[in-house]
Structure 1
Amino acid sequence: MSPLEPVDDRLQQAMQRVLLATVPGILLLLWFSGWGVLFNLLLACTSALAVEAAVLRLRGYPVKPALSDGSALVSATLLALALPAYCPWWLTVSAAAGAMLFGKHLYGGVGKNPFNPAMLGFALVLVCFPQQMTHWPSHGLSLQGGLQQIFGFGASAQPDAWAQATALDSLRINKSLTIDELFAANPAFGQLGGKGIEWVSLAFLAGGAFLLQQRVFSWHAPVGMLGSLFVISLLCWNGSGSDSHGSPLFHLLSGATMLGAFFIVTEPVSGAKSPKARLLFGVGVGLLTYLIRTWGGYPDGVAFAVLLMNLCVPALERLCAAQPEPAS
């Protein structure tokens, strides 16, 4: 859709449903992580809308119709949910600005971006500011403490006092403890996955089921991603030894798996279009996510997996469109 065209009512309604489907996950993240989640959402959404309005004005396009389609809000919301709560305000602003500039308007705006904007913004700050992206909260801070931590004024607590490694990161660097010992000794682990995150993941799963019921997207990409992640983690699972890479349920209920499966790989512009290509797209994201988590340099590989598969979309479409030659 060009910024000069009227707002597509179907796009607007789809974006509204996506935002509604994130509400259960947002509420649980607020419960487990506190005010930082809300600050991330406000900063990311405000920054994304401001950057989008500025770019549209510079390009000579009307601002209001393009902003009202909801695509910028969806990208900013998903980005904010992927970022660590209580990360510095400038990191959230940089990620949102990068998502809008390099993930969306560099290619012409809505409907033309080859990469998922939210994941591009996330990957940008992860590569540029890796230290700030490792401070994941072990508990929520007070309103005053959260403001001090995010905006850097007053006597803010040192990250060691409120942050911890995620379950995925703890498993990746573990060399001596069995899985049972790791779950019992490390506060980042819950019953099956990351503590708190396993419940957040189920909330995003419920939101994804709502979107499937509303036919906002088809089942192909989510099933492809979750299915391939389950299969490869099952094949590579070697029990509870110290060299274990985690069970299939652990990988499904940790990190950004469910957020990625139902809100990221289903993005209609940067993802595949045909049903078979969507399925293969999801399969590729699931496989790459596991490979990056297990042997890569980052604990959660969803963002990089999605961006790498975005590059493969044209090849997937050609592969699925190819028809077998008729028998002679």
Structure 2
Amino acid sequence: MSFVSSPHSARVNRVDQVMLQVSLALVPGTLVMVWFFGWGVLINMALATVFAVIAEALALLLRRRPVLPAIKDYSAVVTALLFALTIPPTLPWWMTLIGILFAILIVKQLYGGIGYNPFNPAMAGYVFLLISYPVATTSWLPPDVSALLEARDLSTLSLIDSARLVFTGALPEGLSWDAITAATPLDEMRTLLDQGQRIDEIRASSPLWGVFGGRGWEWVAAGFLLGGIYLLRQHVITWHIPVAVLGGLLSASALFWLLDPQLYPFPAFHLFSGGAILGAFFIATDPVSASTTRRGQLIYGAAIGVIIFAIRTWGGYPDAVAFAVLLMNIAVPTIDQYSQPRVFGQRRSARKKA
């Protein structure tokens, strides 16, 4: 007769199972990104995954640690997937290599591997590229690029064309970089506002805008929201960080929108025009670099949301999710220290001593 001790929990707690669930949850948003932005999304994901696994294996060999168990936990794969979803689908392969090497070797393995890295590796790799190559990492394809090119009687970017572009930088005949690249909705909105235009004028002057946010980007955000809900239902993550991130972003943007709706976009614009949804459910919830206490997670998430709004509004980087997460990663030890729950019976003991 055998006995199983408590606690009894259905929550996923194995690293490989968690990472597989996260990878599965990324599927809806990824499919939408491929639909609107082309095959380069999948090429980036494949390249980043291969580079990440090789880098992780080499680092473990140099550290004289077992390679296979670390590779089979899929943490390097998830880092690669998240990193690949943040970079443009036309980014040269060697930039993808540099970014993922920085994420795996410097940010993750240099600190001791999974469980020891104080920063989110995927976001650190992305920020490293963004600062080093700002033009390349902010030049995105316009949404539904195939339809746009067909309307101009130009060839579409097939899988082969996308691969040739990533590996050689060669464009199909009849295409130019101006024809296939455009600013993101967040970048476009920020630039035109800085030029003195009002929001009604901006939205009326370009087909870039959808109902709430950027055309195409709204559906991408909806896809990642669906994946985030799946993670919540599977108990892979809790609601505290995602709700706090989105609540902080919505609260800050709503306050300024009420002050001047022609100078500050409608709050939903911030949710459906960039990486806010992806950041709230998949990036800020990183179990290693995020806060671990319930109260701390609310503080951590709300601060990320407010910082996203502040950088988008007054900073130099329009999306800002990566910077907000990394800034709050620094604050996590302090947040956790001052947000620990009261030890059961501590107050009663203090009264007895008094």
TM-score interval (norm. to shorter): over 0.9
Q: Which runs of 5+ in 1 are unaligned?
A: 1-7
Are positions 1:263 and 2:282 aligned together? yes
Q: Report if aligned partners of 1:180, 1:240 keep a CA contact under 8 Å in 2.
A: no
Describe the superposition over 1:145-184 as per-residue Cα deviations: whole angstroms up to 9, x where unpaired. 3123211254454321101111101111113433233223
AA of the residue aligned to 1:192? F
Moved more, 310-319 or 131-140: 131-140
How many residues end up aligned between the 2 structures? 319
- The Cα of 1:239 is off from its aligned counterpart by 4.7
Question: Which residue does 1:11 correspond to in 2?
Answer: 15
Pick from 314, 317, 322 the counterpart of residue 303 of structure 1: 322
Question: Which residue does 1:170 correspond to in 2?
Answer: 188
TM-score (norm 2): 0.86
Describe the superposition over 1:34-57 as per-residue Cα deviations: whole angstroms up to 9, x where unpaired. 111011101110110010011011
Question: Which residue does 1:289 correspond to in 2?
Answer: 308
AA of the residue aligned to 1:39? I
Q: Percent identity?
A: 45
Question: Which residue does 2:337 correspond to in 1?
Answer: 318
Are positions 1:147 and 2:166 aligned together? no
- Aligned equivalents of 2:141, 2:54: Cα separation in 1: 28
Question: Which residue does 2:226 correspond to in 1?
Answer: 206
- Aligned equivalents of 1:296, 1:289: Cα separation in 2: 9
Pick from 226, 229, 248 the counterpart of residue 228 of structure 1: 248
Question: Which residue does 1:88 correspond to in 2?
Answer: 92
Describe the superposition over 1:220-273 as per-residue Cα deviations: whole angstroms up to 9, x where unpaired. 1111100010000000114542xx121110001111000000000110000011
Q: Report if aligned partners of 2:107, 2:119 keep a CA contact under 8 Å in 1.
A: yes
AA of the residue aligned to 2:36? F
The verdict on how the C-alpha distance between 1:153 and 1:257 changes in structure 2, with shifts beyond 3 A counting, is closer
Which aligned pairs between 1:266-281 and structure 2 lie closer than 5 A?
266-281=285-300
AA of the residue aligned to 1:214? Q
- The Cα of 1:77 is off from its aligned counterpart by 0.3
- The Cα of 1:94 is off from its aligned counterpart by 1.0
AA of the residue aligned to 1:38? L
Pick from 124, 130, 138 the counterpart of residue 126 of structure 1: 130
AA of the residue aligned to 1:151? F
- The Cα of 1:133 is off from its aligned counterpart by 1.0
Q: Which runs of 5+ in 2 are unaligned?
A: 1-11, 147-156
- The Cα of 1:68 is off from its aligned counterpart by 0.4
The verdict on how the C-alpha distance between 1:85 and 1:154 changes in structure 2, with shifts beyond 3 A counting, is closer
Are positions 1:114 and 2:139 aligned together? no
Which aligned pairs between 1:41-52 and structure 2 lie closer than 5 A?
41-52=45-56
Q: Report if aligned partners of 2:92, 2:169 keep a CA contact under 8 Å in 1.
A: no
Q: Report if aligned partners of 1:113, 1:270 keep a CA contact under 8 Å in 2.
A: yes
The verdict on how the C-alpha distance between 1:258 and 1:153 changes in structure 2, with shifts beyond 3 A counting, is closer
The verdict on how the C-alpha distance between 1:154 and 1:270 changes in structure 2, with shifts beyond 3 A counting, is closer
Q: Report if aligned partners of 2:52, 2:104 keep a CA contact under 8 Å in 1.
A: yes
- Aligned equivalents of 2:76, 2:208: Cα separation in 1: 32
- The Cα of 1:9 is off from its aligned counterpart by 6.9
Question: Which residue does 2:61 correspond to in 1?
Answer: 57
Pick from 194, 203, 213 the counterpart of residue 193 of structure 1: 213
Describe the superposition over 1:262-303 as per-residue Cα deviations: whole angstroms up to 9, x where unpaired. 000110000011111111110111011111100001111100
AA of the residue aligned to 2:181? A
